[in-house]
Amino acid sequence: MRSLFLIPFMILIATGAFGAELVSKIAAVVNQEIITTYQLEQELDKMLVDRGALSQPQKEQARRQLLNRLIEESLLRQKIEEVGLRVSDEEVDDAIRDVRVQNKITEDQLKEAVREQGLSFDDYREKLRQQILRLKLVNREVQSKVDITLQDVREYFREHIDDYREPATVRLNYLMLPDTSASGGKGLDELQAEAAELYQRLQQGENFSSLVEELEQSGRAQGGELGTFKEAELTTEVRQALSELEVGSFSSPVTTAAGIMLVRVEERKSGGFRKFDEVRREIERLLQDQDRDERFRQWSKQLKETAYIDIRI
Collect all residues with Cβ–Cβ distance below 8 Å to 267 and sequence separation of at least 6: 170, 171, 228, 247
Structural domains in the chain, sorted by start: 21-147+284-311 (1.10.4030.10), 166-272 (3.10.50.40)
Q: Please report which helix (H) or strand (E) contains residue 307, including its range.
A: none
Cβ contact 138:296 at 8 Å: yes
Tens digit of pLDDT for each residue in 203-239?
999 999 999 998 888 888 889 999 999 988 988 889 8
Judged against a pLDDT cut of 60, whether residue 18 lies above it is answered with no
Cβ contact 146:292 at 8 Å: yes
Band (74; pLDDT cuts 50, 70, 90)? very high
Task: Count the neighbouring beta carbons within 10 Å of the beta carbon of residue 65.
Answer: 13
Tens digit of pLDDT for each residue in 129-188?
999 999 999 899 998 899 999 999 999 999 999 999 988 899 999 999 988 876 677 777
Contacts 24+ apart (CB under 8 A), 15-24: 15/42, 15/43, 15/46, 15/127, 16/70, 16/73, 17/42
For residue 15, the 8-state DSSP code is -
Cβ contact 171:227 at 8 Å: yes
Determine the Cα–Cα distance for residues 40 and 17; give it in Å rounded to an integer.
9
